[in-house]
Amino acid sequence: MFGWRRRGVIAPVDPLRPDRDAVDRAAAVLDQDGVVAFPTDTVYGLGCRAGRAAAIRRVYRIKGRHRGKPLVLMIPRSAPLSDYAAPLPEAAARLAEQFWPGPLTLVVPASPLVRGWKLDRGGTVAVRRPAGAVINAILDRLAAPLATTSANASGQPDSLTADEVVCSLARPADLILDGGPSPRREPSTVLDLCGQVPVILRKGAVARADLERALGAAVRLRAAVVMFVCTGNTCRSPMAEGYLRRILPAEWRGRVTVHSSGTGALPGMPAADRAVEAARAAGADIRRHRSALLTDRLIRQADLVVAMEERHRQAVRQLVPGSVPVLLAPDGVPDPIGGEAEQYRETLELIKREMPDILTLIGGLLDPGAVRR
């Protein structure tokens, strides 16, 4: 139909002022059940017209995505959300007003129209109104939504350029619009509004704190990241990391990621021998631990940052103002470095005594379904 070239057809497009020829070309491909890769306001996307079953099957094949994983419905600026969500949650309308067009994907009850397209999963659908000029020009031209996903092979990193799209996909899209590098290096946040409480299914460009402020209510997480912080990341924080991993409830495994770092760590160092011994006695294996330096990126990726001392908490706040690290113990956890084996055991006993409070904090982050199961 459009020439099954190995690389597909690549066409340049101005990411801020897309020319009519490029938009018309993309619309023509999509109208004929083709698949197009395009720049968005986040990462490069891959999509086809919603409701075109053959084209949707090709999107899954090109990406190498399992059919059980849903696609995201990108909708035109002129289309009301209620066309695709029924009943429309009040929270969805409020969030759409504040964050759309933009990098927030809302999971809502699917309307009869969407269910007829067979784009729902369990009666729900993920919907987004993007902000990028290119994707909006295409949506306006079609006056119809697109069934989309990110333009990378399933399980691989997001594509930030057209070249990365070409290199990542096992099969070519019919047309790749090259709008240069993506303006953001992270995908949209995916928020599920179909349960008891709002739940972030995927973290992205819109922060949890911003969503909570907009809703005036708590937002939970499907998966959480916990990071312990000390100085050298060879004694206290590795012991805390290893012990928490050992005592995590079985239903949280796979949902809770635990790691650690140090404010003055030399990256790549193993845990101290006596820390390894103390941890082993408590049933935790930290022999494979390698130290990491605390960075602003690690802080932003973590949902719960636990500091061993007040100075570590202040270091976190200095790197990321507005972050809310907590102390593991009210008076801090003394550093056993250079001490005898008994000091390491005493340090770990203190860590163990405080760990129930950390489990409570984690439970408050996860969605209620994850806590109950």
pLDDT in tens, 327-364: 999 999 999 999 999 999 999 999 999 999 999 999 99
Token pair 């969805």 in the structure block, residue: 92
**pLDDT > 70 in the chain, percent:** 97
Question: What region, left, alpha or beta, does residue 181 occupy, with left being phi > 0 and alpha being psi -120 to 50 degrees?
Answer: beta
CATH label, 224-364, candidates 3.10.450.40, 3.30.70.2740, 1.10.357.10, 3.40.50.2300: 3.40.50.2300
Q: What are phi and psi of 115, to 5 degrees?
A: -65, -35
pLDDT per residue over 239-267, tens digit each?
Answer: 999 999 999 999 999 999 999 999 999 99
Q: What is the pLDDT of residue 7?
A: 59
Q: What are phi and psi of 220, to 5 degrees?
A: -95, 175
**Cα–Cα distance measured from residue 33 to residue 255, given in angstroms and rounded to the nearest whole number:** 38
Q: What is the pLDDT of residue 170?
A: 84
Average confidence (pLDDT) over 4-23:
85
The 3-class secondary structure across 26-44, one letter per residue, is HHHHHHCCCCEEECCCCCC
- Considering the chain, tell me which residue range(s) the CATH 3.90.870.10 domain(s) occupy: 9-77+129-187
DSSP secondary structure letter of residue 252:
G
pTM of the model: 0.89
Q: Is the peptide bond before 101 cis (omega within 30 degrees of 0)?
A: yes
Q: Exposed, middle or buried: residue 183 (CB in 10 Å: 0-12, 13-18, 19+)?
A: middle
**Cα–Cα distance measured from residue 75 to residue 73, given in angstroms and rounded to the nearest whole number:** 6
**Fold category of 9-77+129-187 in CATH:** DHBP synthase (3.90.870)
**Cα–Cα distance measured from residue 37 to residue 164, given in angstroms and rounded to the nearest whole number:** 11
Nearest to 36 by CA among 164, 138, 185, 154: 138
Confidence of residue 5 (pLDDT cuts 50, 70, 90): very low
At 16 the three-state DSSP class reads coil
- Considering the chain, tell me which residue range(s) the CATH 3.40.50.2300 domain(s) occupy: 224-364
Contact criterion met (CB below 8 Å) for 224 and 104: no
- Is the pLDDT at 157 greater than 60? The verdict is yes
- Is the pLDDT at 4 greater than 60? The verdict is no
State CA 214 to chain mean position distance: 19
Q: Exposed, middle or buried: residue 371 (CB in 10 Å: 0-12, 13-18, 19+)?
A: middle
Q: What is the pLDDT of residue 184?
A: 82
Half-sphere exposure of 330 (CA within 13 A, CB side): 0
268: which 2 tokens?
A: 């790549």
Q: What b/e readout covers 292-301, taking b as 16+ CB neighbours within 10 angstroms? A: bebeeebbee
Q: What is the pLDDT of residue 369?
A: 72
> CA dihedral defined by 361, 367, 369, 373, rounded to 10 degrees?
-40
**Cα–Cα distance measured from residue 333 to residue 230, given in angstroms and rounded to the nearest whole number:** 9
At 251 the three-state DSSP class reads helix
Nearest to 328 by CA among 307, 311, 305, 303: 307
